[in-house]
Amino acid sequence: LSLALEFEAYLLNDMNSDLIELYNVLKNERQAFIDFTRSFFTSDNNQETRFYELRDRFNNSNDLAECSALFVYLNRHAFNGLCRYNSKGGFNVPFGRYKSPYFPEIEMQEFIRKSDRIELMCGDFQEALSRVGADDVVYCDPPYVPLSATASFTAYAKGGFNLDDQNRLVDTAKKASEKA
């Protein structure tokens, strides 16, 4: 959403450290990072066996640029573009079987264009919402509340996002809106 709207400044916060690190690497390495990321978008890498090899590489790498590039690859090649982690923090979405996965170069270039005005935070939403001012626009995108115990899916980041977090978000958002 931040790419579609024009503001003087942006504060992007997420609990998913892989996402925030991707933004940090993109902000710092710019076009070189886009070119590196594109190198994973080949027909050879759009195969189930290769997907699982690259997913394992992502889960075991300590190289921030490589992890960030693989995070983009996984997002575009994994089933339904899901981002999900197991209890040990490993990305565990299966292969998506797409004919031609989309490479988000335009979106990355747009992020770079705005990057000098973007502050990144990786943490709890309460900290970010505590900084809301009267003229700020806030967009929150929490995981869906599970419809049933068997439909529960809250593991978008290590630690998950449970019903208590949903309620805490509502309370915090209400308090932030009172500053307007």
Q: Which of 74, 96, 76 is nearest to 85 (CA)?
A: 74
Strands (E), the chain: 10-14, 118-122
Model pLDDT, residue 142: 82
Position 111 scores a pLDDT of 97
The predicted pLDDT at position 119 comes to 97
- Looking at the chain, the number of H-run helices and the number of E-run strands are 7, 2
Give the pLDDT score at 155. Answer: 47
Report the predicted TM-score, pTM, of the whole model to 2 decimal places.
0.89
What's the farthest any 2 CA atoms get from each other in the chain? 53
What's the confidence (pLDDT) of residue 149? 63
- Model pLDDT, residue 104: 97
d(CA 141, CA 44): 34
Could you state, in chain order, the average pLDDT of each consecutive group of 10 residues for the chain (180 residues)?
91 95 98 98 98 98 98 97 91 96 97 97 94 92 71 55 87 86
Cβ neighbour number for residue 37 with a 10 Å cutoff? 26
- Give residue 148's pLDDT: 65
| 85 backbone dihedrals φ, ψ, rounded to 5° | -125, 150
